[in-house]
Structure 1
Amino acid sequence: MNLPTPVPHALSALREDLEISFQVDRAGRHECVVRDPRNGNVYCFPRKAFDILRLTRAGMTLADLSAAVPAAAPPKVAALVAKAAAAGLFDDVAHVAVANGAGRRRHLLRLFWVIGEWPVERLARRCTPLLAPLFGVLRIPVACLLLAALAMLAWHGARYVDMLKILPGYPWWGQTVPLLLASYLWHELGHLSAACLYGARQARAGVVLYLLVPAAFVRIDDVHLIAQRRQRVAVALAGVYFDAIVFALAFLLWCASQNFSVINQVCLVVSLGAAVRIGANLFPFWRMDGYRALEELCGVRKLRVRAVQALLALLPGARWLPPGRRHGVPRAALIGYAALHLLASLSMVLWTHQFFMQLMGAAGAGWGRVAAFGAAGLVALSLVLQTASDARQTYTGRAPC
């Protein structure tokens, strides 16, 4: 979410007690890692951006700093200063609102709005020792559980799909909604515990409205400081791993219970919710868990933006796009990823419409069509806004390929 960002009216020098170190990230770019000893927070800046912050002096204005760095655009300098000021990295700075919108971007169409965000480091420290065995000694039993669920799904798959027709008249939502919410929080707890287990410390959780639908999220600010790539991939996929456990348990209980009993129907809905989350998060073209894992595997940040840029560079008159950077991924692979993104997005919209048409058919033709077109419309709107965001970043050069 892009909120109005406070920028200092009169700048000051960086605090002398900051712990500063330099490193090379997985893409070969030089970064500066700044640790605030007052609260333990860790911030990461590109090396060139931190060199700009080092130029600040007491009494200097934002215009003076921009004039000292003619190669950097003033809005980007303002945004950089705003980030450092909001983190409290300057000495005793009085904040005022940004004049004339400098240093921030206004977006009329947003995918999500942040309702609230809270630090959860204490919760992570308490839960990680309890959940750490799932990433260690219990991996083999969990794998056996998942294989058993897959085998039963292959055996009872037709009956499972046929039983989904009960959903339009499902009477047990009062008992099921708390379980669905608990399983959703269990998913986020998977990311949190994995990140804390592998050394991340700056974790925050919050609630957002994603296309007017409430959702929870966990943000790990220092996940990029985890040294091993496989551990960063594990953090990205930990929520899916926890969802798979929920699905396996609920599905096996559904198989063992009597048909159309209360437990049978509740387990059906809980397992369906877990399966939908698994499929949506593993979809590699949305900015969700599967996409983050793919970025880590490829070693490329903003993979989809770079792929869209590579595809748009093929269009006539696109020679003014920003030049490329070395990131280890062939341009042909980026173009193929962007093309698959467009095809998969269209297929997702059509599949969502067809699924809800079949699911809601028993509720009447009118309501079934409304639900089908509404769900497909939300998916289409999400994809359109994400693609528009990629194109905007491509043409403004914020993430050159």
Structure 2
Amino acid sequence: MNHESYAAPADFPIAPLSPSLTIATQEQDGKPLAILQRPDGRHFRLPLAALQLLQRIEGPGTAGAFVAALPPAQRGAALGMLRQAAGAGLLQTADGAPAAAPASARGNILLLRLFQCDPNRVLDLVSVLYRPFFGRPALVLWVLALVVTSYQCVQENVFAWPQFAAFTHFPNWILVYALLIVSSLMHELGHAYACRRHGARVREFQVVLYFLQIGVYVNVSEAWMLPRKLQRIEIALAGLYVESYLAIATAQVLIWADPYSYVSQAAFIFFIILLTRMVLNAIPTLRLDGYWVLSDLLGEPNLRQRSTAYVMSRLPVVRRAMRLNFRPRNGAIYWLFSGFSVAVIAFFVDQSRRVLLKLLGSLHPLLAMGLLALVAAMLALSLVAYLRTIKQKYLVPNHS
């Protein structure tokens, strides 16, 4: 399974699988996998043999009694699977009712939900607008437009250094902010339309305020239940695909507008911010669109956390006391992903440090030091919480 492992004595209670689960099958490297989805949308991936084991639970009992009836060679793995299934809310309670899902995430004080509606009503309209942009003919036209626009940008030297003066002289940043909200909406609706296009249900549509920026959240978690990997990857990339059309249109405005005019400056600022956001979305270590594509391609659910756990388990101080609770498929992938993640994080931390020091240069030294200490403490606490989560989910004592 791709989620928690819960240390527990062998005699913890178990019951049959919850009837509220949705179950689908996929293939990974030619081997069948079962995907179990809870009513809250959270999904769990496990070998088909593990699902068949869980389906053999006929009634309430204890894990110890259940595994005692299995061949000795299967008991250890079966006990671990039962621990995970029970802790993840996949089994019924003793009275036959579906188990309550474990509390997993606390409310985010930085996120405020402004508006929520039925996603089907939104998608009825979106389908009419987005349908011409999907399919093979549209993909061919997209490639041609991308090549032509890229050539024009190079020929017109749209990235000339003097153009960047627009970031300091442009008078109407509210317009740019509004355009970014529109692009965020188009991006998320791209995911939603692609999800519906392949027959998966869109669970939620919300307008939120996150880090003081208005954004859109679309829950397309049911895409992970689709049997074909290409369908899941298309849904993951659909947001970037739709947003790239907006980038192409903005580039054309920039190319044909009078140099350094109001329209040209607005188009340049929006174009640069849009490209930056698209690049960030594509970086596979930032847990955005690129991350989900890479995770699916490699067949590694929770790739970031598993990579961190694998690297931690190789540290001598950890290895002496703990071991992984899953079988690593490819250690080289975990090392490469972790190394690239550290490099990307180090780059962004360094750039943030430079910007922060410039902003703090005009403040009183004591206030500046206090703000720096606050930022450092927040980063340290986030890292400690992340490593604690890794330990709880993927590392178990050597003697267990």
TM-score when normalising by structure 2: 0.70
Give the match for residue 11 of structure 2: none
Which amino acid is the alignment partner of residue 122 of structure 2?
L
CA contact (8 A) 2:307 2:338 kept: yes
Task: Please give the secondary structure, in 1, of the residue aligned with 2:316.
Answer: coil
CA contact (8 A) 1:224 1:232 kept: yes
CA contact (8 A) 1:285 1:304 kept: yes
CA contact (8 A) 1:124 1:192 kept: yes
Give the match for residue 70 of structure 2: none
CA contact (8 A) 1:20 1:34 kept: yes
- For 2:18 and 2:325, the matched residues in 1 are separated by 36
Closer, same or farther: CA 383–345 of 1 in aligned 2, 3 Å: farther
**1:326 CA drift (Å):** 5.1
Q: Counterparts in 2 of 1:328-367, with a 5 A limit?
A: 330-352=330-352, 366=362
TM-score when normalising by structure 1: 0.70
CA contact (8 A) 1:195 1:235 kept: yes
Which amino acid is the alignment partner of residue 281 of structure 1?
N
- Give yes or no for the alignment of 1:395 onto 2:395: no
CA contact (8 A) 1:307 1:338 kept: yes
CA contact (8 A) 1:305 1:399 kept: no
- For 1:379 and 1:198, the matched residues in 2 are separated by 44
- For 1:31 and 1:283, the matched residues in 2 are separated by 28
Which amino acid is the alignment partner of residue 391 of structure 1?
L
- For 1:364 and 1:169, the matched residues in 2 are separated by 22
Which amino acid is the alignment partner of residue 251 of structure 2?
F
The count of aligned residue pairs is: 360
Closer, same or farther: CA 92–128 of 1 in aligned 2, 3 Å: farther
CA contact (8 A) 1:75 1:104 kept: no
Q: Counterparts in 2 of 1:54-203, with a 5 A limit?
A: 71=79, 80-81=88-89, 103-104=102-103, 113=111, 115=113, 118-136=117-135, 137-157=137-157, 159-203=159-203
Closer, same or farther: CA 226–314 of 1 in aligned 2, 3 Å: same
Give the match for residue 313 of structure 1: 313
**1:213 CA drift (Å):** 4.6
Once the two structures are superposed, residues 227-250 of structure 1 have per-residue CA deviations (whole angstroms, 9 ceiling, x without a partner) of 322222121111111222111211
Once the two structures are superposed, residues 53-88 of structure 1 have per-residue CA deviations (whole angstroms, 9 ceiling, x without a partner) of 99697xx8xxx888988947999677544x789xxx
Give the match for residue 271 of structure 1: 271
Give the match for residue 283 of structure 2: 283
- For 2:258 and 2:247, the matched residues in 1 are separated by 18
User: Which moved further from structure 2: 344-353 or 140-149?
Assistant: 344-353
User: Which moved further from structure 2: 300-309 or 168-177?
Assistant: 168-177
Once the two structures are superposed, residues 137-173 of structure 1 have per-residue CA deviations (whole angstroms, 9 ceiling, x without a partner) of 2222222221222223323446544322232342123
User: Which moved further from structure 2: 123-132 or 303-312?
Assistant: 123-132
**1:112 CA drift (Å):** 5.9
- For 2:104 and 2:83, the matched residues in 1 are separated by 9
Which amino acid is the alignment partner of residue 145 of structure 1?
A
- For 1:334 and 1:134, the matched residues in 2 are separated by 36
Once the two structures are superposed, residues 261-282 of structure 1 have per-residue CA deviations (whole angstroms, 9 ceiling, x without a partner) of 2211221222123112101101
Closer, same or farther: CA 206–226 of 1 in aligned 2, 3 Å: same
Once the two structures are superposed, residues 34-62 of structure 1 have per-residue CA deviations (whole angstroms, 9 ceiling, x without a partner) of 799xxxx99767576897699697xx8xx
State the identity as a percent. 18
- For 2:199 and 2:233, the matched residues in 1 are separated by 14
Closer, same or farther: CA 19–349 of 1 in aligned 2, 3 Å: closer
CA contact (8 A) 1:282 1:291 kept: yes
**1:33 CA drift (Å):** 4.9
Closer, same or farther: CA 105–154 of 1 in aligned 2, 3 Å: same
Closer, same or farther: CA 219–158 of 1 in aligned 2, 3 Å: same
CA contact (8 A) 1:84 1:90 kept: no
Closer, same or farther: CA 349–45 of 1 in aligned 2, 3 Å: closer
**1:383 CA drift (Å):** 10
- For 2:63 and 2:212, the matched residues in 1 are separated by 39
**1:347 CA drift (Å):** 1.4
**1:302 CA drift (Å):** 0.9
Task: Please give the secondary structure, in 2, of the residue aligned with 1:217.
Answer: strand
Once the two structures are superposed, residues 361-385 of structure 1 have per-residue CA deviations (whole angstroms, 9 ceiling, x without a partner) of 9x99749xx9xxx99x989967983
- For 1:42 and 1:94, the matched residues in 2 are separated by 15
- For 2:331 and 2:187, the matched residues in 1 are separated by 35
Task: Please give the secondary structure, in 2, of the residue aligned with 1:287.
Answer: coil
Once the two structures are superposed, residues 75-123 of structure 1 have per-residue CA deviations (whole angstroms, 9 ceiling, x without a partner) of 9677544x789xxx9999799xx9xxx9435769x69646365541332
Closer, same or farther: CA 111–154 of 1 in aligned 2, 3 Å: farther
User: Which moved further from structure 2: 338-347 or 225-234?
Assistant: 225-234
**1:15 CA drift (Å):** 8.5
**1:297 CA drift (Å):** 1.3
Q: Counterparts in 2 of 1:286-305, with a 5 A limit?
A: 286-305=286-305
CA contact (8 A) 2:26 2:33 kept: yes
Which amino acid is the alignment partner of residue 277 of structure 1?
R
- For 2:81 and 2:196, the matched residues in 1 are separated by 37
